[in-house]
């Protein structure tokens, strides 16, 4: 394992609640896209204002202000190819069983294990939406699982893990925060148990407890394990990461073509990045100072 420790200066022994493989709670497309709702930065803006303008948060993720939502209750099972769900307020969970499904401008509040689950034969684009797992009171394992989806400008909170991303997943311009952790949970912002072709870009993943964490011990903002497969073609670029032991803790196994580049890191328990296997790591900095890691 490679430890990238920044100001710690040397390898640090792993211990405490750190999970060496994926742990959780509860029972590449093009490299750069324009972010439709991001506020343009001005070169004259102070650094903290620039960060506020571009970093995902309450103003540029979730349901756009002024959207009128139609209430719905119960399990929403999507079985029609190309089906579009727009502007609903769902008290229930979503099962995606068809290709080309789109969910946009919607709020999903689920009291079961997976607020949104993409099942075999399905694939999903979800954008400008909110996923809230808090009605489950710790049962919701992750906001979306596990493969074949794109999440764009999504506000995810109240689940044990933010998102599970094993293969063929793009997560961009999204905000993962305020995870709901039980006493023995060691949860992650994005968690994978193996696969590949996963892209994380321009997200704010903050797994610190801001008073709504309900116990537990956050593990990593990004945790990539090899329980089911080695990992190839991961791109982790241009994100903000806060919280955890090793903030980014990743294992390629026998995989290749993985990169962790140009991300910004908050304070860490053990250090910012720990890698095993083939990972290109470059251009990462501390968020508060801009100093290189």
Domain assignment of residue 285, yes or no: yes
In a domain, 60, yes or no: no
Q: Is 235 inside any structural domain?
A: yes
pLDDT in tens, 56-109: 999 999 999 999 999 999 999 999 999 999 999 999 999 999 999 999 999 999
Q: What percent of the chain is modeled with pLDDT above 70?
A: 80
pTM of the predicted protein model: 0.85
Residue 149 corresponds to which tokens in the numbers above?
Answer: 């989806």
Exposed (0-12), middle (13-18) or buried (19+): which is 290, by Cβ within 10 Å?
A: exposed
Mean pLDDT of the chain: 85
Residue 248 domain-assigned? yes
- 154 in a structural domain: no
Burial class from Cβ neighbours inside 10 Å (0-12, 13-18, 19+) for residue 68 reads exposed
Largest CA distance in the chain: 54
What percent of the chain is predicted at pLDDT more than 90?
71
User: pLDDT digits over 113-161, tens only?
Assistant: 999 999 999 999 999 999 999 887 778 899 999 999 999 999 999 999 9
**277 inside domain:** yes
Selection from 42, 28, 32 nearest residue 202 by Cα: 32
Q: Residue 107 and residue 35: Cα distance in Å, rounded?
A: 20
pLDDT band at 7 (very low <50, low <70, confident <90, very high): very low
Under a CB-based contact definition with an 8 Å cutoff, are residues 248 and 272 in contact?
yes
More confident residue, 211 or 216: 211
Give the C-alpha separation, 214 to 182, whole Å.
6
CA atoms within 13 A on the CB side of 200: 33
Confidence of residue 47 (pLDDT cuts 50, 70, 90): low
Sign of CA dihedral 35, 38, 43, 49: negative
Predicted confidence band at 216 (pLDDT cuts at 50, 70, 90)?
low
Asked if the structure places residue 66 within a domain, the reply is no
Distance of alpha carbon 46 from alpha carbon 92, whole angstroms: 42
d(CA 164, CA 148): 11
What average pLDDT does range 217-240 have in this prediction? 96
**For residue 196, which phi and psi values (nearest 5 degrees)?**
165, -175
Domain enclosing residue 215, as ranges:
160-293
Which of these, 154, 194, 186, 187, lies nearest to 170 by C-alpha position?
A: 154
Q: What is the pLDDT of residues 173-215, one digit of tens each?
A: 999 999 987 766 778 999 999 999 999 999 999 998 887 655 5
Residue 167 has pLDDT above 90, yes or no: yes
The top-scoring range by mean pLDDT among 3-17, 41-55, 207-221, 270-284 is: 270-284
Q: Is the separation of the CB atoms in 233 and 28 below 8 Å?
A: yes
Instruction: Measure the CA angle with vertex 107, ends 263 and 200; round to 5°.
Output: 20
Enter the tokens of residue 90.
């769902």
Number of domains in the chain: 1
In a domain, 208, yes or no: yes
Greater model confidence, 111 or 7: 111
């Amino acid at each position: 394992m490679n430890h990238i420790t920044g100001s710690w200066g040397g390898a640090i022994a792993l211990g405490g609640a750190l999970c060496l493989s994926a742990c959780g709670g509860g029972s590449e497309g093009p490299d750069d896209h324009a972010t439709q709702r991001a506020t343009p930065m001005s070169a004259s803006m102070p650094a903290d204002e620039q960060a506020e303008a571009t970093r995902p948060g309450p103003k540029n993720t979730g349901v756009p202000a002024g959207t009128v939502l139609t209430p719905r209750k119960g399990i929403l099972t999507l079985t029609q190819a190309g089906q579009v769900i727009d502007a609903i307020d769902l008290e229930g969970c979503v099962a995606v069983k068809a290709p080309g499904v789109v969910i946009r401008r919607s709020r999903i509040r689920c009291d079961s294990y997976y607020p949104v689950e993409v099942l075999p034969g399905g694939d999903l684009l979800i954008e400008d939406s909110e996923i809230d797992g808090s009605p489950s009171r710790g049962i919701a394992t992750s906001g979306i699982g596990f493969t074949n989806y794109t999440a764009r400008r999504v506000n995810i909170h109240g689940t044990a893990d933010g998102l599970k991303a094993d293969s063929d997943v793009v997560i961009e311009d999204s905000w993962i925060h305020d995870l709901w952790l039980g006493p023995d949970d060691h949860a992650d912002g994005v968690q994978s148990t193996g696969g590949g072709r996963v892209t994380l870009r321009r997200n704010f993943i903050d797994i610190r407890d801001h008073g709504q964490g309900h116990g537990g011990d956050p593990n990593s903002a990004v945790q990539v394990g090899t329980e089911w497969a080695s990992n190839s073609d991961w791109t982790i670029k241009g994100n903000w990461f806060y919280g955890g032991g090793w903030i980014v803790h990743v294992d390629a196994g026998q995989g290749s073509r993985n990169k962790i580049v140009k991300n910004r890191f908050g304070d860490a328990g053990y250090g910012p990045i720990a890698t095993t296997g083939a990972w290109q790591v470059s251009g990462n900095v501390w968020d508060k100072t801009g100093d290189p890691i």
